[in-house]
Amino acid sequence: MTVDLEGLRVLSTVVREGSFARAALALNKTQSAVSYQVHKLEQQLGTAVFDRSAYRAELTPVGERILVEGQRLLDQAQYVSSLVEQFSEGWEPRLELVVDGMLPSARLLAVLKEMADLNIPTHIQLRVEFLGGVSQRFEQAGAELMLTLVPLSDTRLSVQALADLETVLVVAPEHPLALAKGAELAVLQQHVELTVHDSSYSKAHGGTQTFGGERVFYLSDFRAKKEALMMALGYGWMPLDQVEDELQAGTLVELDYLGGSRHRYTPMLVRRLDQPVGRAGQLLSEKLQQQFGLNS
């Protein structure tokens, strides 16, 4: 009841060549084999594809439409076959990159767009995790690459440090801590800290928990965290590039904390040494290093 590709291929050739006989020639078949395939296709569809009442067979309206859709089908089939060829040329079928959500997403997306524009056969999967969640996911999901902020020492991994990333301790201007001068840790602990939690553990997403005596509020990502900060729910660390506009506009202010209100992280591009890197992985690594800059 369903079509097969050979029938469609023959249909397409007949239309292109203009007659059954010439299509047969083009396909290295006999004319009767072409006739057979056309009949088979018509039987599968349950409708006439050609009108043979005249001298030369002509497409019926349905036939015209089947031809168009069938061509798409043939092209797609061709693509599936060509995929494998590209895989054997070093392009990997899948490439998974795990990144820390603290990293500037605009840069990441720019890199991914560049990759997409190159029309690479590789499916690139991006996963966003936080802190420890990054390397955990990297291990467990068998991802090829990760961009993590947590240092690790595993001799089976290749680690390439990228340009530093700065974080700032911020609060809303109307929050009591905004006025504090040279606040100590004890002062901070009297208020709610907002934290983006490792998403694999964040079952209690958005719920308040007591943790080591401090009051911590867990959020799913930095977008939610920024909103919570601006609503003066608490204080917290934010990547500098994600709050630059707010600091400028004064909708968020930098905390005056004795322990230092700025902190540097070093993003690291990590891949496995025991697994060969495909062409897409290689390319992605280069583009990431270029976009994020090498550690100076």
Partner DNA sequence: AAACTCCATCAAATTATCTGATCAAGTTAA
Partner DNA sequence: TTAACTTGATCAGATAATTTGATGGAGTTT
The residues of the shown chain that bind a second copy, judged by CB under 8 A, are 1-6, 8, 44-47, 61-62, 64-66, 68-70, 72-73, 76-81, 83-85, 87-88, 92-94, 123
Examine residue 28 and tell whether it contacts DNA (CB under 7 A).
Answer: yes
**CA-wise closest residue to 244 among 232, 258, 226, 260:** 226
Intra-chain end-to-end CA distance of the chain, in Å: 65
47 versus 209: smaller Cβ distance to a second copy? 47
Q: Measured between alpha carbons, how far is 200 from 139 in angstroms, rounded to an integer?
A: 13
Answer whether 235's CB lies under 8 Å from 194's CB: yes
> For residue 118, how many other CB atoms are within 10 A of its CB?
11
Interacting partner of 20 out of a second copy, DNA, none (Cβ under 5 to 8 A depending on kind): DNA
Interacting partner of 37 out of DNA, a second copy, none (Cβ under 5 to 8 A depending on kind): DNA
| Least distance to a second copy, CB of residue 248, Å | 40
62 versus 161: smaller Cβ distance to a second copy? 62
Q: What is the size of the binding site for DNA (CB under 7 A)?
A: 26
Q: Measured between alpha carbons, how far is 214 from 291 in angstroms, rounded to an integer?
A: 38
Examine residue 74 and tell whether it contacts DNA (CB under 7 A).
Answer: no
| Least distance to a second copy, CB of residue 29, Å | 16
Strands 214-219 and 193-196: parallel
Helices vs. strands in the chain: H and E counts, helices first:
10, 14
Q: Measured between alpha carbons, how far is 6 from 62 in angstroms, rounded to an integer?
A: 18
Interacting partner of 57 out of DNA, a second copy, none (Cβ under 5 to 8 A depending on kind): DNA
Q: Measured between alpha carbons, how far is 120 from 75 in angstroms, rounded to an integer?
A: 17
Q: Measured between alpha carbons, how far is 31 from 23 in angstroms, rounded to an integer?
A: 8
30 versus 125: smaller Cβ distance to DNA? 30
48 versus 178: smaller Cβ distance to DNA? 48
* Both tokens assigned to 7: 């029938």
Examine residue 18 and tell whether it contacts DNA (CB under 7 A).
Answer: yes
Examine residue 3 and tell whether it contacts DNA (CB under 7 A).
Answer: no
* Both tokens assigned to 284: 């992605």
Interacting partner of 87 out of DNA, a second copy, none (Cβ under 5 to 8 A depending on kind): a second copy
Interacting partner of 5 out of DNA, a second copy, none (Cβ under 5 to 8 A depending on kind): a second copy
Answer whether 97's CB lies under 8 Å from 146's CB: yes
6 versus 139: smaller Cβ distance to a second copy? 6
* Both tokens assigned to 58: 């002509």
Among 5, 16, 47, 52, which residue sits at the site for DNA (rule: CB under 7 A)? 52
| Least distance to a second copy, CB of residue 8, Å | 8
Question: CA quadruple 156, 102, 257, 263: dihedral positive or negative?
Answer: positive
Examine residue 51 and tell whether it contacts DNA (CB under 7 A).
Answer: no
78 versus 189: smaller Cβ distance to a second copy? 78
**Phi then psi dihedrals of residue 211, to 5 deg:** -140, 105
143 versus 230: smaller Cβ distance to a second copy? 143
- Give, as one character, the DSSP assignment of residue 202: G
Residues making contact with DNA (CB under 7 A):
4, 6, 18-22, 24, 28-33, 35-40, 50, 52, 54-57
